[in-house]
């Protein structure tokens, strides 16, 4: 009989321990479940993360257009030998590589207003020019190096 009482007591203790551990698991699950719930976002909220937070002011957009035009003019006309396009190249080169802050649209002023480093842009343009000229020389050397075949 005493053996049955001991077994009964042991089974009650085991059940209580199981209930306590299950209760702790349930409480932990209740606390953690909101962490794993999917976030519901509308498409506008989702795409708002990828849009510009502060729109570019019209003045900065104008300065960026001026900078882009100067760089594009320089790159598009780098191999021109004479004529109107050569004059455009010379003007773009002078604007890009002059150090003055004389007027609002000088290269240094534009870069400063846009938060860009003018020296970094100049170094990049010089490096681009060197690579472009080397590639052109390589093409010209390859085409001149092979003798033409004469067909009778």
pLDDT in tens, the chain (152 residues): 555 555 656 665 566 665 555 555 566 666 666 555 555 655 666 566 656 556 668 899 899 999 999 999 999 998 988 889 999 999 999 999 998 888 889 999 999 999 999 999 999 999 999 999 898 888 877 666 555 544 54
Q: What is the spatial distance between Cα 14 and Cα 17, in angstroms, rounded to a whole number?
A: 5
Domain ranges of the chain: 2-32, 58-137
Q: Please say whether the beta carbons of 105 and 66 come within 8 A.
A: yes
Q: Please say whether the beta carbons of 112 and 103 come within 8 A.
A: no
Q: Looking at residue 124, what is its pLDDT? A: 93
Q: Looking at residue 150, what is its pLDDT? A: 47
């Amino acid at each position: 009989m005493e053996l049955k009482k001991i077994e009964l007591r042991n089974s009650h203790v085991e059940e209580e321990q199981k209930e306590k551990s299950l209760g702790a698991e349930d409480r932990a699950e209740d606390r953690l479940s909101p962490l794993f719930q999917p976030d519901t976002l509308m498409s506008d909220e989702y795409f708002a993360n990828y849009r510009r937070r502060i729109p570019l002011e019209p003045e900065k957009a104008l300065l960026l257009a001026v900078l882009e035009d100067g760089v594009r003019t320089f790159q598009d006309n780098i191999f021109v030998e004479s004529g109107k396009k050569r004059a455009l190249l010379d003007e773009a080169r002078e604007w890009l590589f002059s150090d003055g802050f004389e007027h609002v649209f000088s290269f240094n002023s534009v870069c400063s207003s846009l938060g860009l480093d003018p020296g970094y842009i100049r170094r990049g343009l010089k490096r681009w020019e060197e690579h472009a000229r080397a590639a052109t020389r390589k093409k010209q050397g390859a085409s001149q190096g092979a003798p033409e075949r004469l067909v009778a």
